[in-house]
Structure 1
Amino acid sequence: MITESEILAASILVVDDQEPNILLLEQLLSDAGYTCVASTRNPQEVCALHRKNGYDLILLDLQMPVMDGFQVMEGLKTNVSDAYLPVLVITAQPGHKLRALQAGARDFVSKPFDLVEVRTRIRNMLEVRLLYKQLANYNAVLERTVEERTAELRESEARYRSLTELASDWYWEQDEKMNFTKVSGPVLEMLGIRVGPLVGETTDVVLTGWNEAEREVLQATIAARQPFLDFLFHRVNADGSQQQFRVSGEPMFNRACRFIGYRGIGVEVTAGY
């Protein structure tokens, strides 16, 4: 929520070529408790002043020589750092009200001034403007936080992969369609799969030496998207020697609990026994 002190501390620019009008509005704002009020009689300065100071509200007279209020608003639209046009127009011409709103003004007050109406419209506009800025700031902070968390997650994932590869003889990852996306070590042979002639292509083949009963259990566990820890897998080589592997794996899910793949590691625990 926007507090009373925040509203009264908002920055306001009064733009009018008539000195009496400026003095009247400055006195009105001062009496209402506003503490950050500036003014100019030169409409050609407004865009540069707003780019420099980022006013929360611009009280803009429409009828001015050299550059009228409509031209000022067109210039303010070029300020790409602020998509919100914080303009309350001042006009003595009833026909200009709709045109001013169509040109981007947020509200208007009529001359001669109804002081109660002017104070009310100024306050309402400032409250909306400050809420808009508060939301924009929150979104910017949220975006930075998401970027930082994403970077941390990627760094953590990279460290995890590095550690798992250092701590194991082989490592693999599969996507949600169970296609292998990363493989190091004999996991494809263990599952009865051989990489084809094209990158990423795999073909089912019969590879001898692996324990078929263990292979079926491992494949069924993965197909059911179940984790497994220290699963023992055996192989008999052509020379009669045997190997034993300890393998672990887990399914992966995103924050929406949607299955996105599988990953696992393995180490050879016995060789030549």
Structure 2
Amino acid sequence: MIARTDMQAARILIVDDQEVNVSLLGQTLRQAGYLNVASTTVAEEVCALHRRNDYDLILLDLQMPGMDGFQVMEALKTNDRDAYLPVLVITAQPGHKLRALEAGAKDFISKPFDLLEVKMRIQNLLEVRLLYRQLDLHSQELEAAVRERTAVLRESEARYRSLTELASDWYWEQDADGAFTKVSGPVLEMLGLRVEPLGDTATASAGAGWNEAQHKHLQEAIAARQPFLDFVFTRARPDGTLQKFQVSGEPMFGPACNFIGYRGIGLEITDRK
């Protein structure tokens, strides 16, 4: 629900070329407790006033010289900030009511005025308008919270990557096609070790010395988008001795839950017990 103080603080603009109508509506609104009531008898001023003051409600007479109420509503629609057009039209012509609603007006007041009806329609429209404002504010706060949370997660991920790089011989990431997009680590760089795509049995069978059975098992895990922990695989050196590696990895998924690759850490454990 909208607090009464928020209702009373709502910004209202009265637009009518007849001073007597402006005076009557203004007096009625102030007696009802509304604190921010402005007016103009010049239709051409409405858009500029609304852009400057962002009114919560505009009481708009349809029959005015020069620029009529329908033209004013069309001009108000050019305000990109305002998805909700806060217009309550004033008309003595019954045939104009439907056309006004089709043009974007939210409600109408008939002349001559029934002041009790005027106050009720104004109150109802202001409640809707202020609820829209609350929803917009909540959406902005939610977006800000999401941005803040995303920044925290990115910072946490950066720390995780830094720690894993320190705790392992290399840190790696692969894209959805299995190509390495990031491979880093001091041992990897010092030794000039070349790491082929994980599970690439074609590379293994091409004479790189990898154990084909182990690679097949790893390839099956990757194809099933499964995480793997401390997976050990070997390859034969040219002198016939075995070089042993231990790798752990997990699948990565994008915001739409689409698979985007793998990431993990690796160790050479040839001389470790």
Measured after TM superposition, the shift of residue 264 of structure 1 is 2.2
Task: Indicate the residue corresponding to 1:198 in structure 2.
Answer: none
| Mapping for residues 58-77 of structure 1, pairs under 5 Å | 58-77=58-77
Task: Indicate the residue corresponding to 1:80 in structure 2.
Answer: 80
Task: Indicate the residue corresponding to 2:196 in structure 1.
Answer: 188
136-145 or 87-96: which moved more? Answer: 136-145
Contact 2:14 / 2:37 at 8 angstroms: preserved in 1?
yes
CA distance in 2, matches of 1:83, 1:272: 66
* Counterpart residue identity of residue 46, structure 1: V
Contact 1:170 / 1:183 at 8 angstroms: preserved in 2?
no
* Counterpart residue identity of residue 141, structure 2: V
Change (3 A) 1:242 1:208: same
Identity of aligned residues (%): 66
Measured after TM superposition, the shift of residue 10 of structure 1 is 1.0
CA distance in 2, matches of 1:54, 1:145: 26
Q: Does 1:205 align with 2:230?
A: no
Measured after TM superposition, the shift of residue 6 of structure 1 is 1.6
Question: Which sections of structure 2, spanning at least 5 residues, go unmatched?
Answer: 184-192
Task: Indicate the residue corresponding to 2:24 in structure 1.
Answer: 24
Measured after TM superposition, the shift of residue 49 of structure 1 is 1.0
Query: What CA deviation, in whole Å up to 9, does each residue of 1:52-87 have, x standing for no partner?
Result: 110000111122223222222222122121122111
CA distance in 2, matches of 1:43, 1:214: 80
Measured after TM superposition, the shift of residue 103 of structure 1 is 1.9
Change (3 A) 1:263 1:243: same
CA distance in 1, matches of 2:128, 2:55: 13
Q: Does 1:179 align with 2:178?
A: yes
SS of the equivalent of 1:34 reads coil
TM-score w.r.t. the length of structure 1 is 0.81
Question: Which sections of structure 1, spanning at least 5 residues, go unmatched?
Answer: 195-202
Task: Indicate the residue corresponding to 1:145 in structure 2.
Answer: 145
CA distance in 1, matches of 2:89, 2:29: 16
* Counterpart residue identity of residue 252, structure 1: M
Task: Indicate the residue corresponding to 2:91 in structure 1.
Answer: 91
TM-score w.r.t. the length of structure 2 is 0.81
Change (3 A) 1:104 1:183: closer
65-74 or 14-23: which moved more? Answer: 65-74
Q: Does 1:157 align with 2:165?
A: no
Measured after TM superposition, the shift of residue 93 of structure 1 is 1.5
CA distance in 2, matches of 1:244, 1:52: 71
CA distance in 2, matches of 1:255, 1:51: 37
Change (3 A) 1:193 1:101: same
Query: What CA deviation, in whole Å up to 9, does each residue of 1:85-140 have, x standing for no partner?
Result: 11101111222212222222111101100111111111111111111122222222
Measured after TM superposition, the shift of residue 212 of structure 1 is 4.6
CA distance in 2, matches of 1:190, 1:72: 66
Contact 1:44 / 1:67 at 8 angstroms: preserved in 2?
yes
